[in-house]
Amino acid sequence: MLDAVTVDQLYPRWLVARENNRPFTLIDVRSPEEYRACHVPGARLISLNTLMSRANEVPKEGDVFLICHSGARSAQAAVYLKQQLGFNNLINVDGGTMAWSNSGYPVEGGVN
């Protein structure tokens, strides 16, 4: 089963990490164009179509949150990383960047 959080569950963890300068791994699997338009501050872009070749950039230690527009592509990325490469530290962000933005949480690059 895939671990998941809502944006309302993610936000306090994200905020505490930022305020305390702690590591926080949030990977955005959308396209570069989508990322430039609007993304969660601090999210790292690894597009779904490059994930196979860049999987070594995904930490195997600590929580790794995966986000996309609505949660479908990030879930797909999590399933791939878990089933094919043995990752067990992945958490999908339900609702994705759209839910994050619609909840009024900070974004960079514009608006959805």
Give this prediction's pTM. 0.94
Asked about 38 being catalytic, the answer comes back as: no
Q: What is the pLDDT along the chain (112 residues), one digit of tens a residue?
A: 789 999 999 999 999 999 999 999 999 999 999 999 999 999 999 999 999 999 999 999 999 999 999 999 999 999 999 999 999 999 999 999 999 999 999 999 965 4
DSSP per-residue string spanning the chain: --EEEEHHHHHHHHHHHHHTT---EEEE-S-HHHHHHSB-TTPEE--GGGHHHHGGGS-SSS-EEEE-SSSHHHHHHHHHHHHHH----EEEEETHHHHHHHTT---BSS--
Question: Which is catalytic among the residues 4, 68, 77, 81?
Answer: 68
pLDDT given at position 42: 96
pLDDT given at position 71: 96
Domains of the chain: 3-57+67-102 (3.40.250.10)
